[in-house]
Structure formats: structure tokens, C-alpha cells
Amino acid sequence: MNGFKKFDDYRIKFVVSLFVILFFLIPSVSTAATKADLAKFQRSIVDYRRQLNPRFKKIRRAKTSYIIVHTSELGLNSTLRVISKGKRLPSGRRTRGGHTHYVIARDGRTYRMLDRRYQADHAGRSMWNGETNISKISIGIELVGNHYNPITRDQYRSIGLLIDILQGVYKLSDRAVLTHSQVAYGYPNRWFKKNHRGRKRCAKNFIRSKAGLGPTWAYDPDVRARRLSADPQLADVFYGRQKLRAKADEANIISKSNTAWSIAGEDYDQRITVYKFPNGRLYTGDQISDKIGWNRIPANTIVLLNQETAIEVKRDKGPIKTIPVGRSAWSLAGKAYNRKTTIYFLPSGRIKHGSTISNWADLPVRTKIIIGYRGPFKIKKDRSAYHIAGVKFRDRKTIYYLPTQKLLAGNNIKNFSKLPRGTLIFLPIS
């Protein structure tokens, strides 16, 4: 009897061991897109090719070896304009557009910017596995958003379908899908003595599995061959044992471990990069060396990328902020941009709390923001400003929103008895 029991025990252990071995050896199967899904997605792509700069020279690609994923570091409208019409370079001249093949908006909407047969100038100074000028042998896909903010679920679904289609056309493996930050490289500078990775931070927040892709390369072939030196932060993100993810509350904020270089790459000292100090003062990258010094930038300084339009360098005054051309909600509100206590007043008259906004790329220019507030509280016949705000009803931090869509601080109102009925009050949390 004991012999049979021992035999059964051994048999159970054998079956369990076999199951464990098979579990780890057999790759997990993800639900692949159907032909109907791919066809429906193809029909939904918005054709934006007519907006292409007529001065852009179309050159057919001889071969296609890679798909390069980017984050645009801009909102949707700016992304579409810059990619189709061209962008302003630090030298002052403008390019002729044609900077990617596809753009995917935050809501998953996909735009065809350039026929995939042609070369798009999207990778710039680049190298992978000894091959340079990756733009000539690759397709570029721009995800609207920043490398320090999460890519949306809708974007992952669209890029997964798009990559599936392109892999079928060009017979590419998952390892042929790379990010711009993986392939871009820079010349020697104050941080690196040799040619190096890290020129771009683009799409370092791209999580491959969410797009249905397998692992990337286990190492950087150009660093291993000593053609380039590694960027420590990017090496940890792509090839480290514990993969690091870009976090919205720290990835573009200066700290002991987060330098101007690790945030802005080669554009760290250019006019298009703006540094917002904790005291609210703004400096462009080309001013830091002479006015501040790179070693004296205070911690918690926010770094704003791709600021194409001129920015007035002055201290922010008052609690009411306005989103100008080329700026984002993040640049004004920092990590509080999507909180319930950050309130947005759209030009249309609508009022939204940060926690209710999903499509940040389409937030209109001239939207006004107040940060750290509760409300609204409505003034009524039997409920005055004093009843709502108490002794602070005249305070500069108490904000009034008139039916005419005008925002006023309490210290700028002369006659409270003449406030129109329906005026809303917003009170600071502290």
C-alpha cells in the first residue's frame, strides 16, 4: 500500500513539474487582431498628405528595416503643423516638413502624413547596429504627447494595429520596432566626451507589451561595439534588469538625478527649451549659461520642450494662468495638471476640473487655469460673496467667474453689490 502511495506521489510531482516547464517554455499567446479589425482601422486613417509642404522632396526608400516610434512632445495641432509644414531649427532656419509617416492622436485617431514608400526625415542623427541615418531605412510613427506622460490606451491600440499592418507589408519582426531614443545619438558635449546615446528622450515611455510587441533587444549593439557610449538613464529604461518607466511627476523636473541633459537631450541649451524655476521665472536654454550657470539651476525647475514661439521671460503673477501658443497645461500646473483641484476655464465658456479631462492634446489656447481650488459656489439673492468666502471675499486668492466669462481676483472687484447673479466663486484649498 505504501509503495502505491509513493508511486502516486512521484507521478503527481512529475505532472506538476512538467506543467511548470511547459508554462515557461511555451510563449503566451495574445489575442491577435482579425482581418476585419485591420481593415476597419485602415479605413479610419485620416489622409493628411495634402497638407505636406510642397517644397518637401519625395525620395523613395530602397529598403525598410525598422519602424521607429516617437513621442511628438507637442499637442495634436502643433504636431500636425510641424510634421507637415516644417519646424524651426535652433539655427533659425525652417525645414520642409515630411517628418514622419503617421501621427496618432491621444484619442487613437491616426493620420497618414506621408506615403509610406517615401523617406521621412524623422530620426535625424541616428545609428543602429552600425548602420547610420536610420530615416533612410525606416518608417516613423509619432504618438502625440510627451515622453514623461503615459501613452493612452487608445494610442496603444492604434499603434498596435498599425505596426501589425506594416510588419506584414515589410516582413519585419518585433525586434525591428525601436524608439527614437534608442537609435538617436549625439556628439561630445559637457556631459559626454564621446559620441553617445541620449540625444533624444523620445518615446522612452513606450511600453511594448501594451502595443502587442515582444521584448526589444537585450543590449545596445552600438554601445557594445564601442561605437557609442551609453546614456545611463536610457540604458536602465531599455536594457536594465528592472525596467524604469517615465513618471509624469518627475520626468521633466530638475533633481539630483534628473539633469537638463537627461530631460531635454541635445536641445538643453537652445531657445526652444524653456526652464521654469520654482519662483515662476522663465529662462530659455540659451540664457542659462550666462545668466544662471548650469550647475546653479534649482531643484524642482520644470523643463518645457519644443517651445517654438517667443516666450516672455518674467515671473508668473497671480493665481490665474493662461495657456499661450506653444505651451501646455503641464507647463503651468506641473504634476497637478490632472487633479480635481486644478480648474480649467475654456474659451467656449465651459468649466472643467483636471480630473475630468482626457484629451490634453486638444485643450484650446487661451484656456485659463487656477491651481489648488474648490468650487464653484454660486452667488444668489440670499447668498452673497461674504456668505460663501467669509472674511476672505476680497482676497487676491479668491477667484470670481462672471457670467460674461471674465475671471477676477477678489482684490480687483470694487463693488461687490453689483456682482451679477450667477457669478461663481472658487476658493483656495489652503
In eight-state DSSP terms, residue 162 is: H
Under 8 Å CB-to-CB from 28, ≥6 apart: which residues?
A: none
B/e letters for 270-297, b = 16+ CB within 10 Å, e = fewer, are bbbbbbbbeeeebbbbeebeeebeeeeb
Under 8 Å CB-to-CB from 369, ≥6 apart: which residues?
A: 320, 321, 322, 323, 329, 332, 333, 342, 343, 344, 345
- Residue position matching grid coordinates 525586434: 175
Query: Which CATH number does 35-239 carry?
Result: 3.40.80.10
The amino acid occupying position 62 is: A
- Residue position matching grid coordinates 518645457: 304
Distance CA 348, CA 361 (A): 17
425 forms beta bridges with 377, 400
- Helix, strand, or coil here: 129? coil
Per-residue pLDDT of 47-82, as tens digits, reads 999 999 999 999 999 999 999 999 998 888 889 999
Instruction: Tell me if 363 sits within 8 A of 343, measured CB to CB.
Output: no
Count CB neighbours of 46 within 10 A: 13
- Helix, strand, or coil here: 145? coil
pLDDT at 73: 86
Of residues 136, 78, 126, 103, the one with CA closest to residue 309:
78
In this structure, the dihedral spanned by the alpha carbons of residues 237, 217, 157 and 64, taken in order and rounded to 10 degrees, is 130
DSSP 291-307: HT-GGGPPTT-EEE---
pLDDT at 241: 66
* Chain length of the chain: 430
Average pLDDT per block of 10 residues along the chain, 430 residues long: 49 46 38 83 95 95 97 88 84 84 95 97 96 97 88 95 96 97 92 91 93 95 96 90 52 82 83 85 87 89 73 59 73 81 93 85 81 93 90 94 92 89 91
Instruction: Tell me if 192 sits within 8 A of 137, measured CB to CB.
Output: no
Cα distances from 333 to residues 190, 321, 330, in angstroms, run: 31, 9, 5
pLDDT at 19: 43
pLDDT at 418: 86
In this structure, the dihedral spanned by the alpha carbons of residues 152, 47, 122 and 275, taken in order and rounded to 10 degrees, is -50
Instruction: Tell me if 138 sits within 8 A of 65, measured CB to CB.
Output: yes
Instruction: Tell me if 248 sits within 8 A of 335, measured CB to CB.
Output: yes
pLDDT at 260: 87
Distance of CA 418 to the CA centre of its chain: 45
pLDDT at 29: 34
Count CB neighbours of 70 within 10 A: 26
Edge to edge, the sheet with strand 321-322 lists 321-322, 368-371, 342-345, 351-353
In eight-state DSSP terms, residue 133 is: -
pLDDT at 263: 84
Domain ranges of the chain: 35-239, 252-315, 318-370, 372-430
pLDDT at 361: 62
Under 8 Å CB-to-CB from 182, ≥6 apart: which residues?
A: 128, 197, 216, 220, 234, 238
The amino acid occupying position 147 is: H
Of residues 101, 83, 99, 106, the one with CA closest to residue 157:
106
Answer whether 0.75 is exceeded by the pTM.
no
